Amino acid sequence: MKKTREKIVIKTSIISIISNIVLAMFKAFVGILANSIAIVTDAINNLSDALSSIITIVGTKLAARAPDKEHPYGHGRIEYMTSLIISIIVLYAGLTAFIESIKKIIHPEEVKYTTISFIILISGILVKFILGLYVKRKGKEANSDSLVASGSDAFMDAVLSISVLSSAIIFLLFNIQVEAYVGALVSTLIIKSGIELIKDSINQLVGVRASNKITHAIKRDICKENEVLGAFDLVLNDYGPDKYMGSVHIEVSDTMNVRDVDKLSRKITKDISKKHGVILHTIGIYSVNSDEKVKKIRREIHNIIFSHKEVLEMHGFYLDEEESEITFDIIIDFKAKNTNLILKKIKEEIKRKYKEYSLNITIDLDISD
């Protein structure tokens, strides 16, 4: 699967490189002849796309290297670093083009559009639309954010080329020269795209919340096991596209023995790895009381806790009669202004009802859905 993904990314990137270089050459030639900053800016944009695809190939090859002693989790995050480099290139290209466009607005020069100019612009629009469809489809097939982004960028390029074509038509029909302003508009959109790409790349490097699509699917599959009463605290660490390692807590009855718990955790690890490609290196256990009296206490405490709207979840509840201790975890919304005050109120309310028990409440982070 890894090799297939690598092949798709590289092959698609090569096609994108060739297409963008050819388009950049023709547009640059026509732009210089026509003295059109808008067309030259469009050519620069195509050239930056080609360079981005080259970096994507390099990043994909480096990211595919096997784990070693210094990098036991592999090199997958290199793809995010290359995405950041691509983003900076896009931003630089946009800024450069914007400066040149402003110069043309201040000191306008006569433009000279020819039939060949229109042919190349229209051809470029068609090529970009087709390329966008192809690259985006292949990106989804290979689960490559870089390719999906490149496909979306190609659609944007086609729209930008349409604006350049429109400025040429306006000049021929009305003798109104707006191409420098269109160049400024095109470069502004490129700058905006570059900033958004930088933001996305930095988020990936810093670490972002795992998609609720995959977290819901993993929890749902874990809970299909008859012995599992609930799945919580799912943590997924992203080490590159399709490279997740993580941990989870499951609730099981306190009547289960160690052998059965071990057998269950091994089965879950195997099934989740096979179905989702996620390695659960740790499965923690929450023991759940089977006593009916305790179940009633749990329900009452549950109601007390969720009377506080800031509380998102409660789990890991266990009542130890020997120690006269109630233990459980809660998750409080990140938006809550005073977590300690909320915890204090919850403890006070529970203690008023269950004075005979000590409380051990852990506040978990809202890491995944």
| Model pLDDT for residues 303-347, shown as the tens digit of each residue | 999 999 999 999 999 999 999 999 999 999 999 988 999 999 999
**Weakest-pLDDT range from 25-39, 208-222, 238-252, 253-267:** 25-39
Average pLDDT of the residues of the chain: 85
Are 172 and 153 found together in one domain?
Answer: yes
Asked, for residue 98, whether it belongs to a domain, the answer is: yes
Are 238 and 154 found together in one domain?
Answer: no
Sequential DSSP letters for 198-248 = HHHHHHHHH--PPPHHHHHHHHHHHTTSTT--EEEEEEEEE-STT-EEEEE
The edge-to-edge listing of strands for the beta sheet with 244-253 is 230-238, 244-253, 278-288
Query: Is it the case that residue 1 has pLDDT exceeding 60?
Result: no
Asked, for residue 59, whether it belongs to a domain, the answer is: yes
In this prediction, residue 207 carries a pLDDT of 80
The residue from 206, 228, 246 where one domain ends is 206
What do you get for the CA distance between the two ends of the chain, in Å? 28
pLDDT band at 77 (very low <50, low <70, confident <90, very high): confident
Are 199 and 246 found together in one domain?
Answer: no
In this prediction, residue 369 carries a pLDDT of 80
Are 172 and 273 found together in one domain?
Answer: no
pLDDT band at 284 (very low <50, low <70, confident <90, very high): very high
Query: Is it the case that residue 279 has pLDDT exceeding 80?
Result: yes
In this prediction, residue 2 carries a pLDDT of 55
Are 280 and 304 found together in one domain?
Answer: yes
Query: Is it the case that residue 3 has pLDDT exceeding 60?
Result: no
pLDDT band at 138 (very low <50, low <70, confident <90, very high): confident
Asked, for residue 335, whether it belongs to a domain, the answer is: yes
Mean of the pLDDT values across residues 103-132?
80
- How many structural domains does the chain have? 2
Are 348 and 224 found together in one domain?
Answer: yes
The residue from 152, 184, 206 where one domain ends is 206
What percent of the chain has a predicted confidence (pLDDT) above 90?
37
Are 138 and 228 found together in one domain?
Answer: no
- Angstrom distances, CA of residue 185 to CA of 36, 109, 150, 197, 238: 14, 18, 20, 18, 37
Are 195 and 293 found together in one domain?
Answer: no
Are 34 and 173 found together in one domain?
Answer: yes
Domain span including residue 106? 2-206
Query: Is it the case that residue 366 has pLDDT exceeding 70?
Result: yes
The residue from 172, 188, 206 where one domain ends is 206
